Amino acid sequence: MSLWLRRLLLVEWSGLAAAIVAGAGALAFIAPNFLTEFNLYVMLRSLSVPLLVAFAQMITLGVGQMNIAVGAIGGLVAIAFGGMMEVYGVPLGLAIPLALAIGALSGLINGLLIVRTGINAFIITLATGSAFTGINFGITGSIPFYKMPPALSGFGDQHWSAMPYLLVAPLIVAALLGLFFSRLAPGRQLLAFGGNPHAAELSGISRGRVVMTAHVLSGLLAAVAAVLAVAQLGSAQPTIGADWLLLSFAAPIIGGAALTGGYISVLGTMFAVFLIGLIQNGMVLAKVDPYWVQFVLGALILAAVGLNRWRAVNSGTA
């Protein structure tokens, strides 16, 4: 293999970028309406919520843990958000921060339980996820809140050329996360803990603080995703978040995150979500059986993991 190609493949997200370029190119060729403003708008809009969901999980992966409750928090926040506006007439401007606070609080509960009891994050969030979903369905009886403020659903539809307004928030979050994890000390400490918890503690990094921060942020991002989902759908459905879990892991992992913690890639995660969205969009346009999406997702995960392993072996760190 030529040195140039080899070096390129070793860059973390190069595989994804290449796949995206190749995929988009193929699609533009196969389906004439791929490059229309409307289609691009639709596709980009569909990325908004998944991006935030992926980021929510990415943070917990960064500290070497998992947040199984990410979808459950999303659902709970969604109905709380919709409910407080429809039933209690809370104005939108107040409902949004309250909804985010609920998400952060849920994350705080998770973090507290994990730190205080010392029990595996997987189990704790499995349990709290179940509890949150229970509260969700208990309150709503599975009935959505349909009367959302027009400003909200309007926002969900508006766009500037192909760029949906909805996508702006995730992009800002991405930039902030990128900054947080690469240039801010607390972010570096989170990753340090994920990379080697014992070493981090020896250096005085507090396990409790790191774990709580990660889970609060995770809950917060899940809440942002929920608010956007409500805007996108135009109603607060209790089922929001029900299908978030697998995607929340798939995207960061395809993006190169280490399951054991200590390494995540904001850019890689974004590319992964983009690629998945591209594939889904392409399937619709090419009138491919939509059932192929799941299959391709699984194949993507394997390919990404395989590439990462190849990389590890070839850069001498396996």
Output the CA–CA distances (angstroms, integers) from residue 1 to 6, 12, 19, 303, in the order listed: 6, 18, 19, 19
Identity of the residue, 146 or 295, whose beta carbon is nearer to another protein in the bound complex: 295
Region of 15-23, 28-36, 170-178, 298-306 interacting with another protein (CB under 8 A): 298-306
Q: Which two tokens stand for residue 75?
A: 């659902």
How does DSSP assign 259-292, residue by residue?
TTSS---HHHHHHHHHHHHHHHHHHHHTT--TTH
State yes or no: residue 122 binds another protein (CB under 8 A). yes
Identity of the residue, 93 or 204, whose beta carbon is nearer to another protein in the bound complex: 204
Rounded CA gap, 11 and 154, in Å? 40
State yes or no: residue 141 binds another protein (CB under 8 A). yes
Identity of the residue, 94 or 199, whose beta carbon is nearer to another protein in the bound complex: 199
Q: What is the CB-side half-sphere exposure of residue 190 using CA atoms within 13 A?
A: 26
Identity of the residue, 11 or 94, whose beta carbon is nearer to another protein in the bound complex: 11
Q: Which of 10, 18, 151, 259 binds another protein (CB under 8 A)?
A: 259
Number of H helices, E strands in the chain: 14, 2
State yes or no: residue 295 binds another protein (CB under 8 A). yes
* DSSP 8-state code for residue 11: S
State yes or no: residue 199 binds another protein (CB under 8 A). yes
State yes or no: residue 135 binds another protein (CB under 8 A). yes
Region of 5-13, 47-55, 98-106, 240-248 interacting with another protein (CB under 8 A): 240-248
Size of the site for another protein (CB under 8 A): 69
> Around Cβ 138, how many Cβ atoms within 10 Å?
10
Rounded CA gap, 118 and 110, in Å? 12
State yes or no: residue 299 binds another protein (CB under 8 A). yes
Region of 12-20, 32-40, 160-168, 243-251 interacting with another protein (CB under 8 A): 243-251
State yes or no: residue 310 binds another protein (CB under 8 A). no
155 touches 96 (CB < 8 A): no
Main-chain dihedrals φ then ψ at residue 184, nearest 5 degrees: -110, 135
Please name which of 59, 57, 69, 224 lies closest in space to residue 132, comparing C-alpha atoms. Answer: 69
Identity of the residue, 36 or 314, whose beta carbon is nearer to another protein in the bound complex: 314
Q: Which of 36, 130, 158, 314 binds another protein (CB under 8 A)?
A: 130
Please name which of 26, 83, 61, 128 lies closest in space to residue 230, comparing C-alpha atoms. Answer: 83
SS3 164: strand
Q: Which of residues 26-55 bind another protein (CB under 8 A)?
A: none
67 touches 57 (CB < 8 A): yes
> Which positions lie near another protein, rule CB under 8 A?
113, 117-120, 122-124, 126-135, 137-138, 140-142, 179, 183-185, 188, 191-192, 195-196, 198-206, 243, 245-246, 249-250, 253, 258-259, 262-263, 289, 291-299, 301-302, 305-306, 309, 315-317
